[in-house]
A = this chain, B = another copy of it.
């Protein structure tokens, strides 16, 4: 399968959809993307597994990373692509998540031979599966220098709105201890489930903060997402474990977020407890206070009229956050349509996103 990166971006989107690339089966599309980029003498093309990186080296003061994943969730009779009856939407697996975004990037990568910032274009695999297999994570481990830059844009669907950075997320198991006893003589024991009451009361009354980071408002969240306790129907339990999920603004490092959670739990007044972190994912700043990013916001606002907003869910932009690179999501398509059986993307979205990025980079 060949791609014509100089085709109109809607046509290129359909070419990309028509190469099936369910997670784990990205070789054909990665080969096609690599071939399409290799014909451009202004790009250095690199490859790691089924991730393809292409970059300019024009000696610009700033380098921008523009990234998108090549894989999709499983196909549901929606490949090859079709056009909607009214001709305004491209229908097919990956149209939203995120071959339209990939098409915008691939199209600009070959056309913009002289961008105002150096650009590193990243096309990666295995985004729709376990985070440990993620192709962007693999590239950042194998070749961290490939991802050096001052600002990153992930072309995930946002309906053409800039969604900046993301909240971090961590999980901790708070174990409350007790003393087991037969429930017929419960006074000989200490009930660990009863012991969890002050922690649940603390969580129930906790008011999550909203923090402004680089001009965007990040609303936090603190929740018990799991609780378990009990040995048998006739035993006073000696252990109750509450799993707490803290979604924290990118104002905080992982270490600061851990300290904040420990402080809250310590303040609950539990009698016998310990805390173990089970998941630590940093947030990412949006970096929109930087001049380079401010230009980008202006370009998008001019093209689409939409103002940037904070991204609350954790996304791959956090991988840039880990590398110290501010990052935003910006791409065509309604994210609510991602993974849907009738996944479809407005052609106007794709063209608007391409126009905004082109305006910013030239």
Residues of chain A whose beta carbon lies under 8 Å from any beta carbon of chain B:
167, 169, 171, 182-187, 191, 193-198, 200-201, 203-204, 208, 219, 221-237, 240, 242-243, 245, 247, 279, 312-314
Contact = CB atoms under 8 A, between A and B. Distances in A.
B224 A229 contact: yes
Given A183-B225, A237-B225, A197 B194 contact: no
The winner among A184, A191, A314 for most chain B CB atoms within 10 A is A184
Copies of chain A in the complex = 2
What DSSP secondary structure best describes chain A's contact surface? mixed
Contact of A201 (B201, B228, B233): B201
A63 to B, nearest CB: 30
Contact of A243 (B194, B224, B233, B279): B233
The winner among A196, A225, A228, A242 for most chain B CB atoms within 10 A is A225
A221 B182 CA distance: 10
Contacts of A245: 183, 233-234
A187 B223 contact: no
Given A186-B223, A312-B185, A191 B208 contact: no
Contacts of A232: 225
The winner among A200, A232, A233, A279 for most chain B CB atoms within 10 A is A200
